[in-house]
Amino acid sequence: MKRTYFNELAPRWDELPAPPDAPEKVAHFTALAVPPGASRILDVGCGTGILVEHLGRNCAAFTVELDMAERMLALNRARSNGPRFAHVCGDALHPPFAPGSFDAVLCFNVLPHFEPPERTLCSLVECLCPGGLLSVGHLMDSAALNAFHASLGGAVANDRLPPAPELAGLLESMGTEVIRSEEWEGWYLVQARRS
């Protein structure tokens, strides 16, 4: 159901309204989420490729763009063709990668859509190498985003972003070390390192 929802949204995704400072914030998120020297990155729920330009600017890492909606991924491919990018259509609950495959896992604007969120996060933590960094980012605080999803209704009506301290606690219970947990109007970022 959610896959259908995002496939239908794909052709309009890049035209949807965004805050005027979104490009700077996306660049900031990407810069914080890619550790120096990272060589393998997983961009989860990559959509049409909002992070692609910034990933290209920040590092020379090999990046896997992962999304369950094939129409999102098709648009993404047009932005990120070339040997530094691979495109995988699949659910983050069952990422088709060996444990420890990535130095950084980026979840930008996607966590509330995971089903179920806890198990999906566990699967993504497993994708990290020891010392690898998981980053969860949004351009809204959790209360605003949850109200927004409720107002949209349909497939995403109940998709919930936990307050940053709650997500930080969940990630700690998975054995990661939380290195950043911040949330205010127009910004949300939780980062955790796999031990």
Ligand X SMILES: C[S@@+](CC[C@H](N)C(=O)[O-])C[C@H]1O[C@@H](n2cnc3c(N)ncnc32)[C@H](O)[C@@H]1O
- For ligand X, the binding residues (CB under 6 A) are 6, 45-47, 50, 66-69, 72, 91-93, 108-110, 113-114, 120
Structure tokens at 34: 């890619």
Cβ 110 to ligand X shortest distance, Å: 4
* CA triple 54-114-152, angle to 5 deg: 85
Cβ 184 to ligand X shortest distance, Å: 19
Cβ 125 to ligand X shortest distance, Å: 15
- Which CB, 66 or 171, lies closer to ligand X? 66
- Which CB, 105 or 178, lies closer to ligand X? 105
Cβ 95 to ligand X shortest distance, Å: 8
State the distance between the two ends of the chain, measured CA to CA, in whole angstroms.
35
**Cβ count near 99 (within 10 Å):** 12
- Which CB, 6 or 97, lies closer to ligand X? 6
Is residue 150 within 8 A of residue 118, CB to CB? The reply is no
- Which CB, 131 or 150, lies closer to ligand X? 150
CA distances from 107 to 9, 44, 46, 82, 187 (A): 19, 5, 8, 22, 14
